Amino acid sequence: MRTPATGGAGCGCGPSETAMTSGAALPVSGRPWRALFPVLTFEATERFGFYGLQGLLLLYLTRSLNMPESDANLIAASFSGVAYASTLLGGAIGGQLFGARAAAMVGAALQGCALAAACVATDVCRFLGVLAAAAMANGLTRPNVATLVRDLKQPGERADGLFTLYALAVNLGAALAFLVAPWLARTMGWAPAFGLCALCVIVGMIVLGASASRSVADRAPENGQRWRGVAGLAVVAGAVLCVFGVLNDPRLGRYVFQVTACAVPAFWVAIWTRCGARERRGVLIALLLIAQAMFYALFDQQTTSTFILFALHDVGSDFRVGGVTIAHLSGAQFVAVNAGLTMALAPLFARLYRRLGKVGREPPLHTKYLIGSAFIILSFGLLWLLIRRQDGGMLSPWGLTAGYALISVAGLLMNSLGLAVVSEYVPLRFNGVATALFYITLGTAMYAGGVLSNAFALHDLAAAASPEAVRGVFERLFRDFALLAIAGFCIVLVLQPVLRRMQGSYMRR
């Protein structure tokens, strides 16, 4: 059975980004390294800035601005959602107005300014302005850097190796940011931590700006170039204001995401009605697989929100082996485990898929999703059981590390969906609209993940004064997410034969 190609230009904001493919390999010896190195350096440094902000987000909102945990969690979810959805607008600006390279540079400049402003953002309103600018900056950099990487592919070469290196750059920046930024904030203060993030972005801009452009894709259209640039900047400014409104008013944000959740199915129905019989089979397969991507996004959102809150409240910082402390991580630094494990395990999964592919045994994408769903159950179920068995004192950090390891494996299995489903099953004439719907769908799912965690238990966290009450909040939280994961696993399991038949029928025609 032929399965959709995996990998590609992922544009998410979670640290567990992968470029998993069945044949991932390093680029060929003819690679123009002088063109590739600046792009990868820019991506790693810009990601350091973005993920440094994300790693400090909950900590700064709750510890410096004294915001209740449930409110901070909802802002973090909204930030993740709009940062993901903004990649659609950023990609359009890069393709139609600026050009990919210029759009990435504008996004980095906006990111650097936002992070510098965070050094003096001492109230909630100003900090939300920082988040709005950072979310839009993410939308400008992610898709356009991916375009620059894709454009370096040489004739006859697969893009697998390029995007493997791209994913390594993303995870390297994320892992270092999650380790260094919280440590610097704890030892030297908030301003040096945000300042380092801004400095890294500026260094990446200098490296990319000093490199010679070699492609057509990263240049803006020549006709009316000046006006295109002005229009692009106006669109960016307007988008930042809109995002600020969403982040500043929880009710407005809720309405926006509710309208989006209702509008997305309407657009898919419009696509469906304009397709032929065979095309509709492909669209239906795409919808079922995208729904599974949304399911994973609900849980992936927790790795940068509720997991951090759990680490801050009920997890020890010292990793001990035989009574000897071998490492120390503060609560906000635990997210580095996710990025680090993803970076370490990705080559192993790529090698496994390559070997299975050679003998025709690589599992289809929907089967990988089934296995990934099982690892989600194991992750949240393990944390639930550990809290139930906890008898005083802080939980060992090894337990939370194991939870992160299990969700990292799930990400390696389920994040491989990427945009491949859209390109494989949706007719080419609808590719642009379908890609937009994919991004918006995942952004909405991330926001829903924050709403769910508040509804499950986090709304009671502020009132939980004693350690026992805090553990009770997180016990309910992880229990309910584990039960949700079990329900999702059962649905994916039931869909296995359905998807197998649908894919077989679609491929034969």
Residue-range domain boundaries for the chain: 16-217+224-246, 249-509
Fold type of domain 16-217+224-246: Growth Hormone; Chain: A; (1.20.1250)
Fold type of domain 249-509: Growth Hormone; Chain: A; (1.20.1250)
8 Å CB contact between 102 and 226: no
8 Å CB contact between 235 and 96: no
- Distance CA(96)–CA(169), nearest Å, equals 27
- Specify the amino acid at residue 481: F
Per-residue pLDDT at 13: 55
Q: What is the DSSP letter of 214?
A: -
Per-residue pLDDT at 215: 55
For the record, the structure tokens of 468 come out as 């026992």
Q: Which residue positions in the chain have pLDDT lower than 50?
A: 1-12, 19-30, 216
Per-residue pLDDT at 290: 87
Per-residue pLDDT at 220: 53
Q: 336-388 pLDDT, tens per residue?
A: 888 888 888 877 887 887 788 788 887 887 888 899 999 999 999 999 999 99
8 Å CB contact between 201 and 49: yes
8 Å CB contact between 247 and 78: yes
Task: Please list, residue by residue across 172-198, b when 16 or more beta carbons sit within 10 angstroms of its beta carbon and e when fewer do.
Answer: bbbbbbbbbbbbbbbeeebeebbbbbb
Give the number of residues written for the chain. 509
Average model confidence (pLDDT) for the chain? Answer: 84
Task: Tell me if 16-217+224-246 shares its fold with 249-509.
Answer: yes
